[in-house]
Amino acid sequence: MKNVNRIWGITFFWVLIITNTLAQGSDQYILAGGVLDFNTERIEKNVLITIKDGKIFEIEKNPELSKTKNYIDLSDHTILPGLIDCHTHLIGNWYMEQDDFDVYTLPAASYGIIGTVNAKKTLEAGFTTVRDLHSYFYGDVALRDAINKDWIIGPRMYVSGPALTITGGHGAFGNWLSPQINFSENLISIADGEDEVRKETRKHLKYKVDWIKIFATGGFGSYGTKPGAASYTIQEIKAAVDEAEKRGIKVAAHAHGAEGIKNALRAGVTSIEHATFLDDEAIDLLLQKNAYLSMDLLSAYYELIEKNNDYDDKDIDMSNNKMFTSLLETFSKAYRQNVKIVFATDAGVYPHGRNAEQFLLMKNAGMKEIDIIKSATLTAAELLGVEDKLGSIEKDKLADMIAIKGNPLTDIKLLENIPFVMKEGKIYKNEK
């Protein structure tokens, strides 16, 4: 039986290779039972999509199939754009027990290897693009480039390299050590003052990152820091923003507490990550600055509810259930006030490949299905500055598509099980 399974596996692998190779030199056709149209916010029935050189060439409603020799038959499926997760850590398995994934014992190469595994899981879950925020050893840069060169299978990546933090700040290794002991090298960018922030930002730009990430507050699970407490000043964050802007690069700010959120927005960051203690003034600033909100409900659910982790922070005087409920209420308030929300999960804090489980959490927070899907497609593409290439099924955009059975506008959980994934005209998953 094992030999039979192995033969089938090898056969399927070569079928995919041959199919994709042939497709690169000829037009491809997909017959869809339905396609999600963001203009009408409806599922348009019976559509033929023509793909040429990895891009959508034509979209035809109610086609005459006699004119088409060969097509991929998804007539019993609904086609959506490839999904985008705006906050992942593919070079990270922080949900694992320390003995299984310990930065003090594993060589740097281990992170690259685990990144290839996580990249494949993420793509097969329907996420054809990710923004990867914070990675050790510039492993995210290497992973991005390996995917772009077709060395390995994975989503399109936009990466930040190591995040910037203050001395003793969130993510800084060795916060628990005595004064006479220190690391000669740190796995994160420790920078204090405007000059050091500029230097670290320039270093990341040298190593070809797509984004800069800065820790504007403390964080959960980080020794000696308080999630709600601000860290960098407005001037320090602005130094990073100014340096990044010279190269056309944007800045994302990890910020749990309201003061840190407002500091980051006043400094000109493009997106706020987490936003656990977002207040009304911060919501107003998000709107004024036309900035994006990137709240990871799934990682919070995993830590607070599924794993039932307790955080020793005297400033947080509430149960896990109450804290998660408060987070949903905060998300709901921002949504009702029309803040631009992008889909972001903090993958790596929870097991990779489960990204789509956040869709139901967003619905539970009061978000409409069409807006949930837009957050992971149109709005996410806009944040990344690639709305002309990604985010919708339209002519001349890249052929990033997923297919599901049923209507996600009435059942968002359908996105948790995606049988068909295409990225730039190549099929990476086809359970048909």
**Are 41 and 165 part of one and the same domain?**
no
Residue 393: closest CA among 79, 123, 40: 79
The per-residue pLDDT for 409 is: 98
Would the pLDDT of 400 be above 50?
yes
**Are 96 and 217 part of one and the same domain?**
yes
- Provide the pairing of β-strand 127-132 with 292-294: unpaired
Residue 213: closest CA among 139, 132, 282, 277: 132
Q: Name the pLDDT band for 227 (thresholds 50, 70, 90).
A: confident
Identify the H or E element spanning 252.
strand 250-255
Q: Let me know the angle formed at the C-alpha of 305 by 302 and 309, rounded to the nearest 5 degrees.
A: 80
**Are 70 and 165 part of one and the same domain?**
no
Q: Name the pLDDT band for 95 (thresholds 50, 70, 90).
A: confident
**Are 136 and 23 part of one and the same domain?**
no
**Are 78 and 110 part of one and the same domain?**
no
75: domain CATH number is: 2.30.40.10
**Are 367 and 399 part of one and the same domain?**
no
Taking the C-alpha atoms of residue 371 and residue 61, their distance in angstroms, rounded to an integer, is 24
Taking the C-alpha atoms of residue 196 and residue 186, their distance in angstroms, rounded to an integer, is 15
**Listed range (58-62, 243-247, 374-378) with the worst mean pLDDT:** 58-62
Residue ranges of E strands in 82-204: 83-88, 127-132, 156-159, 164-165, 189-190
List, in sequence order, every residue forming a beta bridge with 217; answer none if it has no partner.
230
| Mean pLDDT for the stretch of residues 104-133 | 93
Indicate the SS3 state at residue 76.
Answer: strand
320's CB contacts (< 8 A; 6+ apart) are 304, 305, 308, 309, 310
Taking the C-alpha atoms of residue 346 and residue 299, their distance in angstroms, rounded to an integer, is 6
**Are 19 and 93 part of one and the same domain?**
no
**Are 136 and 180 part of one and the same domain?**
yes
The per-residue pLDDT for 22 is: 46
**Are 27 and 87 part of one and the same domain?**
no
Taking the C-alpha atoms of residue 270 and residue 289, their distance in angstroms, rounded to an integer, is 8
**Listed range (38-42, 73-77, 98-102, 391-395) with the worst mean pLDDT:** 98-102
Indicate the SS3 state at residue 246.
Answer: coil
Q: How many structural domains compose the chain?
A: 2
Question: In sequence order, which ranges of 93-138 are alpha helices (DSSP H)?
Answer: 108-124
Residue 368: closest CA among 414, 339, 417, 332: 332
**Are 328 and 361 part of one and the same domain?**
yes
pLDDT digits (tens, 9 = 90+) for 234-252: 999 999 999 999 999 999 9
The per-residue pLDDT for 369 is: 98
- In this structure, what token pair is assigned to residue 223? 């020794």
Contact 415, 356 (CB under 8 A): yes
Dihedral sign, Cα of residue 350, residue 355, residue 356, residue 359: positive
**Are 379 and 407 part of one and the same domain?**
no
Taking the C-alpha atoms of residue 388 and residue 400, their distance in angstroms, rounded to an integer, is 13
**Are 99 and 238 part of one and the same domain?**
yes
153 CA to centre of own chain? 16
Crossing angle of helices 280-289 and 258-267, in 10° steps, is: 20
Q: Name the pLDDT band for 280 (thresholds 50, 70, 90).
A: very high
Share of the chain above pLDDT 70, in %: 86
The per-residue pLDDT for 319 is: 86
Contact 280, 300 (CB under 8 A): no
Indicate the SS3 state at residue 268.
Answer: coil
Identify the H or E element spanning 7.
helix 2-24
Sheet with 127-132: strands ordered across? 83-88, 127-132, 156-159
The per-residue pLDDT for 389 is: 98
411 CA to centre of own chain? 22
Contact 277, 258 (CB under 8 A): yes
Q: What does residue 64 show for φ and ψ, rounded to 5 degrees?
A: -90, 105
Taking the C-alpha atoms of residue 340 and residue 283, their distance in angstroms, rounded to an integer, is 10
> Which residues constitute the domain of residue 31?
2-82+392-430
Neighbours of 256 (CB within 10 A): 26
pLDDT digits (tens, 9 = 90+) for 308-354: 887 665 567 778 899 999 999 999 999 999 999 999 999 999 999 99
Burial class for 280, CB neighbours closer than 10 Å (0-12, 13-18, 19+): exposed
* Domain stop point among 347, 366, 384: 384
Indicate the SS3 state at residue 27.
Answer: coil
Taking the C-alpha atoms of residue 391 and residue 376, their distance in angstroms, rounded to an integer, is 8
| Mean pLDDT for the stretch of residues 111-139 | 95
The per-residue pLDDT for 197 is: 98
Which residue would you say has higher pLDDT here, 274 or 25? Answer: 274
- Average pLDDT of every residue of the chain: 90
188: domain CATH number is: 3.20.20.140
Residue 276: closest CA among 301, 300, 252: 300
* Maximal CA-CA distance, the chain: 78
pLDDT digits (tens, 9 = 90+) for 171-220: 666 655 656 666 655 678 889 999 999 999 999 999 999 999 999 998 88
Would the pLDDT of 53 be above 50?
yes
pLDDT digits (tens, 9 = 90+) for 144-157: 999 999 999 999 99
DSSP state letter for 302 = I
Contact 273, 291 (CB under 8 A): no
pLDDT digits (tens, 9 = 90+) for 18-36: 555 444 458 999 999 999 9
